[in-house]
Amino acid sequence: DKQDSGKDEL
């Protein structure tokens, strides 16, 4: 998901 793939970063 977003967190595992680092897409929670800027």
Partner 1 sequence: MNIFRFAGDMTHLISILVLLLKIYATKSCSGISLKTQELYAIVFVARYLDLFTDFISVYNTVMKLVFIGCSLAIVWCMRLHRVVRRTYNKDVDTFRHYFLVLGCFLLALFVHEKFTFQEVLWAFSIYLEAVAILPQLVLLQRSGNVDNLTVQYVFFLGAYRAFYILNWIYRYLTEPHFGRWIASVAGLVQTALYADFFYYYFISWKNNAKLQLPA
Chain contacts with partner 1 (rule: CB under 8 A): 2-10
For residues 2 and 8, the answer to whether their CB atoms sit within 8 Å is yes
SS3 per residue for the chain: CCCCCCCCCC
Report the distance separating Cα 2 and Cα 10, nearest Å: 12
What is the closest distance, in whole angstroms, from the C-beta atom of residue 4 to partner 1 in the complex? 4
